[in-house]
Structure 1
Amino acid sequence: MYTNSIEMVEVSPRDGLQNEKALVSTEDKLALIDRALEAGVRRIEVASFVNPRAVPQMADAEAVCAGLPERGDVTWIGLVMNARGADRALATGRIDQLGAVSVATDTFAMANQGQTSEGSIEAAKGIINAARAAGKIGQVTIAAAFGCPFEGEVPEARVLAMAEALAMAAPVEIALADTIGVANPAHVNRLVTAVRELVAPIPVRVHFHNTRGTGLANVWAAVEAGARTIDASIGGLGGCPFAPGAAGNVSTEDVVYMLERAGVRTGLDLSALTEANHWLADVMGRTLPGMVAKAPAFPKQLQEG
């Protein structure tokens, strides 16, 4: 193992909810963020600043930001696709970090943000520079890094070329996203290792969906390959409106259980995350995909007396 600790990024307020048809209230989004904070999360993707006609769930991005607690120990992340989105996020005065997105294929890039893959790289560079000019920080995710819902297999050489180009803008990290959940552990280990070595000292973050049940295995492979930060969503909620068949993110509580049991510290409270899962299930009106919250606690704590 390369590490005995991992940073977690909670993405449920954005990626977890963005594909849900039933609109979640601003109050419930802020309550979800509060529960993540109570569990120990210190980086949270709170909203995306996109066209509300395209993603109605994110129409209240500014209102969510206005309700965020004043916390000097927390990094609030806003996902943005273009200069307009960056301007909106920065105008809230609450976003600490802009998250840009570059897409590995032209077809998905056009569906996701109305530009080619190369265009998404240039847009991401502009977003990172805008964050820096505003005294904030910028990071970037390479979406569909392990496979595209429209074009199928994505050549690893393409992802490496993108990572190299994006590194020129000096983001604080580069993430590899399995947007549709097609990655396998061998592919993850190979690609994370290659990107990490190529862009060092810029750290690598990973973002996995559990569409085909390989999410946790891919998290483990990424950690072994040197990824330092893991995106996850309470309850395993998630999906992409522009990626057919994309199912939920890896569940925060499932990732924490796996890593902590293996001796890799996350700094998060599993009991609090499980409670957050149950609360969120009530909000959504259904049982959530995460597995740990459905199982008895283990190991059981001995009761005094």
Structure 2
Amino acid sequence: MSTRTESFNNPIKLIECPRDAMQGLHDFVPTALKIEYLNLLLQVGFDTLDFGSFVSPKAIPQMRDTEEVLAGLDLSSETKLLAIVANLKGVEKAIKYKEITYLGFPFSISETFQQRNTNASIAQSLNTVEEMLNLCDKHNKEAVVYLSMGFGNPYGDEWNTDIVSHWANELVQKGVKIISVADTVGVSTPEKIIEILPPLVQQFPNIEFGLHLHSTPQQRLEKIEAAFNAGCTRMDSALKGFGGCPMAADDLTGNIATEDVISYLNLTGTQLNLDMEKWGEAMMVSARVFG
């Protein structure tokens, strides 16, 4: 594997995603343990922590205590909080909390997955995005829209790069400023990453594009390298690569492992300014969270 050794021109935003890592666990993680784990991650120095979600507890029971978890977080660091919402009810809950900076919405370019994940069509979800943006403006929040199934889907729904570009354009026209192209089920490849991301960045220079990739351990490093070679400046990942979307498949494909992202960026000479002692403590506590 080749490695770029120069520093990147743009600052890299690392988004740590314990919410995505935990949401598919069958055994409920006690609220106090979630708080302990998240408070350590908050001290590491990531740009953003994807900490919880305001969704139906029937759909994602692991996240039913998001409001209680939020109340126990130490927000003395500069790390910002992101919460996932799946409908306007979730948006209306999340915007009440001044501690939350970002509301993340999964907008799938696969009709099958949009119905499966949010019980709404793509057309209905586009309307939800528009209403979410209006509420975010009124309540001083920022919206992050995930272009879910952005690298393909397991349902046989049509996918190509023109479809990705079309829906990115639709979101930009609605006023979305941050778009994260999301893999969801691990079908991204280095070739697809390099094919998709640079044209989007070129077409929409004022939009912040990120990547939310899922991967088997064997493919992580090649995807990380492709992402940063493609100009990625916003990367989602999770400690040890835990997680996956329980609404997408029975066999979860884990997240990109944060430690692999850190290792790669260190090799490039990128200054991350992370507290690796706190990171080590979080790694130890993760054993109690994930078993």
Unaligned runs of 5+ in 1: 286-305
Give the drift of 1:126: 2.0
Q: What corresponds to 1:300 in structure 2?
A: none
Q: Secondary structure at the match of 1:96?
A: strand
Deviations 1:77-132 (A, max 9, x none): 11111111001111233211111120011111110001122322322232122111
Give the drift of 1:4: 6.0
Instruction: Give yes or no for contact 1:253–1:270 (8 Å, CA) kept in 2.
Output: no
- TM-score computed with the length of structure 1 as normaliser: 0.87
One-letter code aligned to 1:86: V
- TM-score computed with the length of structure 2 as normaliser: 0.91
Q: Is 1:70–2:75 an aligned residue pair?
A: yes
Q: What corresponds to 1:252 in structure 2?
A: 258
Q: What corresponds to 2:210 in structure 1?
A: 205
One-letter code aligned to 1:50: V
Unaligned runs of 5+ in 2: none
**Deviating more after overlay: 255-264 vs 146-155:** 146-155
Q: What corresponds to 1:89 in structure 2?
A: 94
Q: What corresponds to 1:156 in structure 2?
A: 161
One-letter code aligned to 1:114: N
Q: What corresponds to 1:288 in structure 2?
A: none
Q: Which residue of 272, 275, 282 maps to 2:281?
A: 275
Q: Which residue of 109, 114, 119 maps to 2:114?
A: 109
Task: Supply the distance in 2 between the matched residues of 1:70 and 1:6 (Cα, whole angstroms).
Answer: 21
Instruction: Give yes or no for contact 1:182–1:211 (8 Å, CA) kept in 2.
Output: no
Instruction: Give yes or no for contact 1:181–1:212 (8 Å, CA) kept in 2.
Output: no
RMSD: 1.9
Aligned residue runs from structure 1 range 180-191, under 5 A: 180-191=185-196
Higher normalized contact order (CA 8 Å, seq sep 6+, divided by chain length): 2
Q: Is 1:218–2:220 an aligned residue pair?
A: no
Give the drift of 1:266: 2.6
Task: Supply the distance in 2 between the matched residues of 1:250 and 1:20 (Cα, whole angstroms).
Answer: 17
Task: Supply the distance in 2 between the matched residues of 1:274 and 1:151 (Cα, whole angstroms).
Answer: 42
Cα 1:265/1:153, change in 2 over 3 Å: farther
Deviations 1:183-226 (A, max 9, x none): 11111011011111222211111111113732332222122222
Give the drift of 1:271: 4.8
Identity score, percent:
30
Instruction: Give yes or no for contact 1:181–1:215 (8 Å, CA) kept in 2.
Output: no
One-letter code aligned to 1:275: E
Q: Secondary structure at the match of 1:53?
A: coil
Q: Which residue of 5, 22, 38 maps to 1:17?
A: 22
